[in-house]
Structure formats: C-alpha cells, structure tokens
Amino acid sequence: MTAAWWFATWMMLATRSPQPQTLGDAIQDANAGKFAMAWTIGSTLASPLERTQARVYVLAHAGQLRAALAETNGGIALGLHDPWLLERSCALAISLREPELAQQRIRELSRFVERQDGGGTWGPAVAEHEPRLAELVERRRALSGASVRARTCVAVLGGLLLSVLGMASRLGGRGSRKGPP
Amino acid sequence: MTTAQRIPSGVVLAALAAGGACTMSIELAAVRVLAPWFGTSQAVWTNVIGVILVALSTGYLIGARLSSGPTPLRRLGIALLGAAFFTATVPFQAERVARWFLPHGLALDEAATLLHWGSLAAALVMFLPPALILGLCPPLGAEALQRARLASAGAIGGVVLAVSTLGSLVGTFATTYWAIPTFGLRATFAACAAVLAILGIGLCWIEQRRAIAIGGAIGMALTCVVESPAVSMPSGHRLLEARESRYQSVRVVETEELGAPTRKLQVNEGLDSFQSVWRPEPGLLPPGYYYNYFAPPAWLSPRAQRWRVLVLGLGAGTAWRVLDGALPPGCRLESDGVEIDGAIVQLGQRWMDLPGSRAELRAWGDWDGRAALVGLPGPYDQIVLDAYANQTEIPAHMASVEFFREVARRLAPGGWISINVGGFGLDDPVVRAVAETAAEALSARVLAISVPFSRNCMIYARRGAELPDPAEGAWTTGEARIDALLAPCAIPGTYGFFTPGGDAVLYDDRNDVERRQRTSLARGKTLP
C-alpha cells in the first residue's frame, strides 16, 4: 500500500461525516455563533431549498442583511417559492427599507396563505409585517413628494429668474435717465 | 440746495460696503443654515454659491434699470430695508422650508438624492430674495454718487467695486472666524439685518421718507424681540447641547438603546448617522456599531503591556472608550487622538467622558488629521482612521497613497491600520478604492470586512506582517467577546482581500473619492 493510498483513505474518512448533516445542524451552529461552520454545512446540503434556507439563516443571524436578502432573492429567482423564504425576504426588505420588494413579497406570501396555508402558519407573519410596511410605504411616498416639490420649485424659480434676467437686460437698454441734469 | 450737493457719499459707501459684507455673510451662513438638514457637502456649497451668484447678477440688472429713476438714493434705502427684512426672516423660515423638501425620519441613503435637489430648492426659497435685493445696491449707489458728480463714471465704478469687495472681504473673515463661532447663526443673521436696516433707515430719513424710516425701525425692533425657533428633535431624542463650531453644526442627543441611555454626537444633517456614541460603560458597544472593530488588532497581535494608538478623527472619543474597555488584560491604552473640530472635543469632554487631562490619552483639537501627522512621529501599534466630513465624505487628502504611506511610516513593525469606511458591501466603489489605495501604499494585501448590522466596512492593513485570514484558525483570539465580533465576518463573501496594483487607487493628484461616494449612495438604494 502506497502513501498515496493512505492519504486518499485519510481524506475520505476526514471529509465524510458519519451521518449526513442537516439544515438543523446549520441552524444550531449559527445559533451558537459558529457562522463559518454553519455556512459550510449549509452549502453542502443537497436540497437547493434547504441550502438557500441555511445560507439565509446564517447570514441574517450574522448581521449580514444585504447578503441575506441577496440570497433569498437568488433562491426565489430559482423558483424556490417557499413561504419561509418569502417571509424572510419581506422582513429583510423592510429592515433595509425597500418597500417595493417587501410589498411584492407580502403579496406572494398572501397568495400562498390564501391557497395553501389557510391562514394558519403564515397569516400572523403577514399581519405582523403589514404595519411596518405601511409605515415604510408612507415614508417612501413622503420622499417622492419632497423630491417632486424640490424639482418643481427649482424649475419654477429658475424659470422666473431667467425671465426676469431677460426682461431686465432688454429694458435696461431702453431706459432713459429721469434724474436732474 | 441741489440733489447733487445733498448726497452723503460716506453713507452711500458705507451702505455698499455693508451690502458686500452681508452678501458674503449670508452666503457663508447659508450653508450652515441648511446644514442641519442637507449637510455641508460640496454639492450644498455649489448650490448655495450658484443661487447667490444668479441672485446677484439678476439684482445688478434690475438695479441698473431702477437707477435710471429720479431717486436712486431713496431706492437704495428701501432696497437695504428689504434686504434686512428677508435676512432677518431666514432663521424663522429655515426649518419649515427645509422640512418641506426633506421630510423627517429618513435614513442617509434614502435622503441622498434629496440632499442635492432639496438644498438647491431651499437655497432658492430662502436666500434668493435677500441676495437679489442686495444686488440692487451697487448700481443704485453708483448712480447716486455719479449724480453727485463726485467723479467720472469709471472712477465711481472703481470706487463702488473696491468698497463693495472690501466689505465682502470683511464679511467673509468676520463670519467664519468671529460671528458664527461666537454668536451663532441666528445672531449673525440678526446682526446683518440690523446693519442693513440702520443704513436703510438712515438713507430714507435723509431722503425725507420718514414714514418708511420709522416703519423700518419698528420692523427691526419687532424682529429683535421674536425668538426664532430651534431645530426640532425626532421623538425619543433629547437635545443635550447644540453648537455652531467653525466647521459645522454640532449637537449631542440622548436616547435610550437596549435599556441604557445612549448619547450620540451628530453633525449637520445627522439623519440616522452619528460621529460619536457614548454608553455608560466603556468597552464594546452593542452589535451594529463599527467602533467595536477597532478592538481586535490588539488581540490578534502578540501580548503587550501597552497598546499605542493614534486615532485620526477622534470625534468625542468613542474609539478610545471602546479600546479602553476592550484591550487584553494587563494591556494599557496610550493614545493620541486628532480631531479637526475643537468644539467636538469640548462636547466630548462635557457629555461623553472624553478625558481632558490624562497623560496617556492626548486629544489634539483643531488639527487636521494629515497635517497633525507631522508632529506625531509614533511609533504606534495601531492607527485608527475614522475621519469623515459630514456623514459620508472621507476627505480626499486622507484617502490617497501618499497619505497612507505617511501613516505607515508611523507604525511600529507589525502595527495595524484600521479604517472605517461607509459602504454597501465589499464591492462598494468607496470601499474598493480605499482598500486598494491602502494596499498600494503598504505594498501588501489588506483585509476588508463587512461590519454586521451596519452599512460600514472595516479595512485592516499591517506593516511588515501578515494579516490573519478569516478562513483560517488565526481569526480567533480565545476571548469570547472578541471572537463573537470576528465570527460573523468569517462567512465567505463577508470579507475580502485587496492587493496592490488595483485600478481604483487614489492619489493626491488624482482622487475621485467624492464621485465614488455619490455613486456608493446611489448604489446603496438598489437591491443586491
């Protein structure tokens, strides 16, 4: 038996766990703050849905919210229309102040609730997000309103100034002195 | 007695000088008036200067037209009174106008576009009227002097320009170095209005327009007794102290976070960002505060009895406070801290436990970070770079290869540079540029990590020593609270190395960090 054979055998034993690791293991490690380990476990899961769920869970618990949202979006774009992913995507979008995406996710989640869930599990989640989402939408509306006001004001006052400038320069040429000789 | 003989040239020249001075005072103070909402970025300065210039040119043309009338001196008096009125009202209308263009409660990235358009619109509404009316004064004054036949048109024009420009010069220096830091913004506007009103009343009185003069005097007195409103605080925040420093509007606010009083030092627009934070206990702050990431280098280095740190951008001393409570046992903090705004150091000493007289912690107020390097030869075990103008702007002269080389020369062998950079992830244009610039200056790879629960990244560089790789075992310290900080930054994608030779390197001569910051904020609004 060659050294290469021994090395290959050791590698096989070292890399193969006695039992396949699960989504639960990834979650457990993430909860224990072992994020790199949890990520590695999550990335090796066979099911694309569980892989995405594990990664989202790990990233969100590690405070990497934008990366977690990117992961949920990636999963949903792959056709993984899972209520947990939709709910997480909605929550993350609200945290990152993205009302349009949060609204879209809450619509998708509501459709799921109507069709399959019957309001049991995911209905309260939808209800929980709605007030924060409404607040966010209102804020976005205020933002757009302020933007329109600012641009309109600049356009109106700018136009007014230009007209005054034009008038003053034309009238200035025709002015006649009325003062004392 | 003819009109020509009656014209008091001294008063007219004084009015023109005052007009010039007040124009510059309004221009400089205008940026500060807008600062609590829109900041004092280059865009805000550009908008204000643009508005003042267009107002003045329009005023000159209208003034030229008005000067052809029979009573230019009287018109000059009325114009001064009008300018005084609009100048006096600026502090009263500031918050209402600003809030119309920038609603309450927005985060920095949300407000990014509004800062430009909103500041332009607010500047037009608030500063166009007084500046335009002040623009009427030089042609009216020149005409009045010309009619007195004091000299030729050319000579009068020269005198008017010289007097007005000298007034502007006095207004410029007096506003920045004396009026605003000493008396504040409202008093500065009130003083400008008072000077203009007194001269306007005087000219109207001389011109036999006693009713206008008396009306002007009453108006001025009324303006003096009405207190202008202070900037309002968001709910749950208590204003502890606000100041107008030489550089910015500064305030300390207190709120409750995670069951403990938390004080934040905000400058200018503030929005949801802050320059310093204080909690009752020194040491690590709750998750989401980037200051915590100044602590790991001392733990990732060989144990020492003292840890010598230079902080560029000390603010009110949060970096010191975090390091003081989070260094390895038996390790004493010795530090120099440089802060450009001396008022911030004073506020820190008053409200945020910033040490005033500890020999091992020396605060250098009123010093620019780069300029101060000359007098701080080191060596330091760690140099913390946390220098920001406003909320988002890393000063260009503190983000260049030349600057990082100067910094590296002050590091002890194996010493660390830790740089706080606001940015949305490792591919953010500002993060990339600063990291590549530091790598180029040190001729070594640097490590950038995405700070959890925040929109900040921390960049680490070392002099003559390898950085730990988050993918390996060296990214732990054995200290639970520090390892808890490091663990979230060991996930692939949350950290990255940048090497020398990148294409985003910034130099003193070629530095587009401001453009990158605008791009960063715009990109921050798009989803990953």
Q: With CB atoms and an 8 Å threshold, state whether A65 touches B110.
A: no
In chain A, beta strands by DSSP E:
none
Mean per-residue pLDDT, B399-421? 95
Q: Does pLDDT of B132 surpass 60?
A: yes
Q: Is the pLDDT of residue B3 over 50?
A: no
pLDDT at residue number A140? 86
Residues belonging to chain A: 181
**Residue with the larger pLDDT of the pair B358 and B364:** B364
Element of type H or E holding B81: helix B72-101
Q: How many CB atoms lie within 10 A of CB B305?
A: 7
Of A63, A97, A157, the CB nearest to B124: A157
Looking at beta carbons, which residues of chain A come within 8 Å of B2?
180
List of chain B residues whose C-beta atoms are within 8 Å of the C-beta of residue A62: 452, 487-489, 491, 494
More confident residue, A32 or B269: A32
Q: Report the pLDDT averaged over residues B11-31.
A: 92
CA pair distance B446, B438, nearest whole angstrom? 7
Distances (CA, A) of B166 to B200, B251, B345, B410, B469: 20, 34, 35, 45, 61
Residue bearing the bigger pLDDT, A13 or B240: B240
CB-based contact B125 A69, cutoff 8 Å: no
Buried-exposed string B348-385: b where 16+ CB fall within 10 A, e elsewhere: bbebbbbbeeeeebebbbbbebbebbeebebebbbbbb
Work out the minimum CA distance from B137 to partner chain A, whole angstroms.
Answer: 15
* Distances B104 to A93, B97, B437 between C-alpha atoms, Å: 21, 12, 37
Q: A7-33 burial, b for 16+ CB within 10 Å, e for fewer?
A: eeeeeeeeeeeeeebebebbbebbeee
- Kindly give the pairing relationship between strand B249-257 and strand B495-498: unpaired
CA distance B107 to A98: 12
Mean of pLDDT values over B278-289: 91
CB contact under 8 A, A150 and B527: no
- Reduce the DSSP state of residue B414 to 3 states and report it: strand
Q: Using the beta-carbon criterion (under 8 Å), do B288 and A63 form an inter-chain contact?
A: yes
Q: Is the pLDDT of residue A91 over 70?
A: yes
Q: What is the pLDDT of residue A11?
A: 47
Give the pLDDT score at B489.
93
Of A101, A158, A175, the CB nearest to B68: A175
Q: Is residue B243 scored above 70 in pLDDT?
A: yes
CB contact under 8 A, A165 and B492: no
Averaged pLDDT of chain A: 80
* A168 CA: distance to closest CA in chain B (Å): 6
- pLDDT confidence of residue B361: 87
Q: Are B298 and B327 in contact (CB under 8 A)?
A: yes
For β-strands B332-339 and B361-365, DSSP reports them as parallel
Q: Which of B179-193, B409-423, B495-509 has the lowest mean pLDDT?
A: B179-193
Count other Cβ atoms within 10 Å, centred on residue A48: 12
Of B100, B111, B488, the CB nearest to A149: B100
pLDDT higher at B41 or B477: B477
Confidence of residue B508 (pLDDT cuts 50, 70, 90): very high
pLDDT of residue A176: 44
Q: How far is B347 from chain A (nearest CA, A)?
A: 32
CA atoms within 13 A on the CB side of A71: 28
Q: How many beta carbons lie within 10 A of that of residue B465, not counting itself?
A: 14
pLDDT at B169 over 90: yes
Sole residue written with tokens 């009202």: B89
β partners of residue B238: B254
Closest chain A residue to the Cα of B526, Cα to Cα: A98
Answer yes or no: do A66 and B425 touch at CB < 8 A.
yes
Choosing among B74, B117, B476, which should be mutated to test the A contact, i.e. which has the most A CBs within 10 A? B117
Average pLDDT over residues A32-48: 91
Query: What chain A residue is nearest to B58 in terms of C-alpha separation?
Result: A165
CB-nearest partner of B69 from A93, A97, A178: A178
Q: Give the number of beta-carbon pairs within 8 Å between A and B.
A: 144
What value does the mean pLDDT take over residues B456-467? 94
pLDDT of B375 > 50? The answer is yes
- Asked whether residue B1 carries a pLDDT value surpassing 50, the answer given is no
CA–CA separation, B36 and B250 (whole Å): 9
Please indicate whether, in this complex, the C-beta atoms of A35 and B453 are within 8 angstroms of each other: no
Select the residue of B69, B102, B492 nearest A146 (Cβ to Cβ): B102
Residues of B in Cβ contact (< 8 Å) with A105: none
Which comes out higher in pLDDT, residue B464 or A11?
B464
Q: What is the mean pLDDT of residues B407-428?
A: 93
Which residue in the set B68, B118, B288 is minimally distant from A146, CB to CB? Answer: B118
- The CA distance from B49 to B248, in Å, is 17
Distance from CA of A118 to the nearest CA of B (A): 31
Q: Please say whether the beta carbons of B265 and B348 come within 8 A.
A: yes
Which of B48, B39, B42 is closest to B106 using CA atoms? B39
Answer yes or no: is pLDDT of B527 > 80.
no
Residues of chain B positioned with their CB less than 8 A from the CB of A91: none
Spatial separation of the C-alpha atoms in residues B291 and B431, rounded to whole Å: 17
Q: What is the pLDDT of residue B220?
A: 66
pLDDT tier at B458 (50, 70, 90 boundaries)?
A: very high
Q: What is the pLDDT of residue B526?
A: 62
The HSE-up count of residue A33 (CA atoms within 13 Å, CB side) is 10
What is the percent of chain B with per-residue pLDDT over 90, rounded to a whole number? 50
- Interface contact B61-A169, CB threshold 8 A: yes
Candidates A161, A170, A178, partner chain B, best to mutate (most B CBs within 10 A): A161
- B445, B467 contact by CB (below 8 A): yes
Of the candidates B136, B159, B185, the one whose C-alpha atom is nearest the C-alpha of residue B19 is B136
Rg (CA), chain A: 30
pLDDT of the residue at A179: 44
Per-residue model confidence (pLDDT) at position B124: 94
Å between B252 CA and nearest CA of chain A: 26
pLDDT score, position B523: 74
Question: For residue B274, what is the DSSP state?
Answer: -
| Mean pLDDT computed over A75-95 | 88
Q: Do A178 and B3 touch (CB under 8 A)?
A: no
Encode pLDDT of B378-387 as tens digits: 899 999 999 8
Residue A166 has a pLDDT of 80
What is the band of B203 on the pLDDT scale with cuts at 50, 70, 90? confident
How far B55 CA sits from the closest chain A CA (Å)? 8
Q: What's residue B432's pLDDT?
A: 95
Question: Residue A45 half-sphere exposure, CB side, CA atoms within 13 Å?
Answer: 22
More confident residue, B114 or B235: B114
* Chain A residues with CB-CB distance to B103 below 8 A: 139, 142-143, 145-146
Look at residue A171 in the predicted model and tell me its pLDDT.
Answer: 60
Rounded mean pLDDT, B215-224: 66
Residue B248 reports pLDDT greater than 60: yes
Q: Which two tokens stand for residue B513?
A: 């960090």
Residue of chain A whose alpha carbon sits nearest to that of B476 = A34
The 8 Å CB, 24+ separation contacts for A109-113 are A109/A83, A112/A81, A112/A83, A112/A86
For B207-238, the DSSP string reads TT-HHHHHHHHHHHHHHHHSPPPPPPPPTT-E
Share the mean pLDDT of chain B: 87
Q: What are phi and psi of B316, to 5 degrees?
A: -95, 20
Please give the residue of chain B at the shortest CA–CA distance from A41: B491
- C-alpha–C-alpha distance, residues B437 and B519, integer Å: 18
Which residue among B4, B113, B494 places its CB closest to the CB of A64? Answer: B494
